[in-house]
């Protein structure tokens, strides 16, 4: 399932804007779990608390109304990586 994202209190306009916000301050980027309502366990919270070895699949800018870009965010040995 794909999750939604917020930069502060707004949706990201693009994947580029998302990457820039994560590089600047990952604590200001929040994951909105959209699949937990269906019984699928997923991460929800700010990216600075993303557990190591976890991958978030996202869609943006809005997972409910506007799906222009997709990607994954992972936390590994090198830190947070967006693909």
> What number is the average pLDDT over the span 12-32?
95
As a whole number of angstroms, the distance between CA 36 and CA 83 comes to 23
CB distance 60 to 11 below 8 Å = yes
Q: How many CB atoms lie within 10 A of CB 26?
A: 17
For 52, the token pair is 């190591």
Inform me whether the pLDDT recorded for 43 exceeds 90: no
The pLDDT, as a whole number, for residue 19 is 95
The pLDDT, as a whole number, for residue 36 is 59
The predicted-structure confidence for 55-71, as pLDDT tens digits, reads as follows 999 999 999 999 999 99
Query: Average model confidence (pLDDT) for the chain?
Result: 89
* Position with higher pLDDT, 35 vs 29: 29
> What number is the average pLDDT over the span 3-20?
95
Q: How many CB atoms lie within 10 A of CB 83?
A: 10
């Amino acid at each position: 399932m794909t999750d939604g994202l917020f930069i502060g209190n707004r949706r990201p306009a693009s994947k580029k804007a998302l990457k820039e916000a994560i590089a600047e301050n990952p604590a200001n980027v929040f994951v909105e779990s959209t699949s937990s309502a269906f019984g699928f366990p997923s991460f929800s919270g700010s990216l600075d608390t993303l557990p190591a070895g976890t991958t978030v699949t996202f869609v943006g800018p809005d997972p409910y109304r506007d799906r222009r870009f997709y990607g994954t965010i992972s936390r590994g040995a090198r830190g947070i990586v967006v693909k």
